[in-house]
């Protein structure tokens, strides 16, 4: 990363600490600029920093109870206690249904539990609230892949990469999937 890129990133990161009232994390006005920068970043490290700033915003609901549930749910996922994680994230989406990241986290838990239909429903809700959610789009690709729906998985990965060109692992997944589909059609 060049010094100019570092300086631009620092200026962007500094905006994270300015108090900006939000209705929900996905409505935060700082996201537009971050997504604009993410889509054109040609530097992996800069992309990682920008996506980290986006995740920081997405994970902050603005409600201490919801944020505590988020922490408890993530801890349950880390401990591979998927039943507890699903209960916690279900409580979260009931209490704050407009918080996209609650739905996304529950979608992840459901994917891990191999409840693909449940995961798809939660991903749909996430994307309805935050259409730019590259994590949910990547998750959509993984769910579709697990269901054997490779063409749909490919479309989801392409949408995720359009938002975040340096999404870790996505380019490799995309190339592998394109080759597999291409080989099947020959």
Distance CA 15, CA 5 (A): 16
Return the closest-CA partner of residue 159 out of 186, 130, 184, 179.
Answer: 130
User: What six digits make up the tokens of 135?
Assistant: 């994590």
Decide: 56 and 48 in contact? Cβ < 8 Å.
no
First to last CA, the chain: 42
Q: For residue 133, what are the CA distances in angstroms to 5, 127, 162?
A: 24, 6, 11
Specify whether the backbone of 62 is left (phi greater than 0), alpha (psi in -120 to 50) or beta.
left
pLDDT, tens digit (0-9, with 9 covering 90-100), for 35-59: 999 999 888 889 999 999 999 999 9
Distance CA 184, CA 180 (A): 6
* 25 secondary structure, DSSP code: G
Q: For residue 93, what are the CA distances in angstroms to 20, 41, 109, 114?
A: 23, 33, 13, 20
Domains assigned to the chain: 64-131 (1.25.40.10)
pLDDT, tens digit (0-9, with 9 covering 90-100), for 121-131: 999 999 999 99
Q: What was the pLDDT predicted at 19?
A: 37
Per DSSP, helices labelled H in 60-133 are 64-78, 82-95, 100-112, 116-129
Q: Mean pLDDT for each consecutive 10-residue tract of the chain (186 residues)? A: 45 38 68 94 90 93 95 97 98 97 97 98 97 95 95 94 86 84 73
* Global pTM value: 0.83
Q: What was the pLDDT predicted at 134?
A: 94
Average pLDDT, the chain: 86
- Percentages of the chain per state (helix, strand, coil), in multiples of 5: 75, 0, 25
């Amino acid at each position: 990363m060049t010094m100019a890129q570092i300086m631009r990133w620092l200026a962007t990161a500094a905006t994270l600490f300015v108090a900006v009232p939000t209705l929900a994390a996905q409505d935060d006005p700082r996201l537009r600029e971050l997504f604009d920068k993410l889509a054109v970043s040609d530097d992996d490290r800069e992309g990682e920093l920008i996506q980290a700033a986006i995740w920081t915003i997405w994970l902050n609901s603005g409600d201490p109870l919801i944020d505590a549930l988020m922490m408890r749910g993530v801890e349950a996922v880390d401990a591979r206690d998927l039943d507890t994680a699903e209960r916690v994230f279900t409580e979260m989406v009931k209490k704050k249904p407009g918080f996209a990241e609650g739905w996304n986290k529950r979608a992840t838990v459901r994917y891990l539990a191999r409840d693909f239909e449940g995961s798809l429903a939660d991903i749909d809700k996430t994307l309805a609230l935050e259409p730019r959610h590259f994590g949910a789009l990547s998750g959509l690709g993984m769910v579709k892949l697990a269901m054997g729906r490779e063409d749909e998985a490919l479309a989801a990965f392409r949408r995720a990469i359009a938002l975040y060109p340096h999404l870790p692992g996505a380019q490799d997944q995309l190339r592998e999937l394109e080759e597999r589909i291409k080989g099947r059609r020959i």
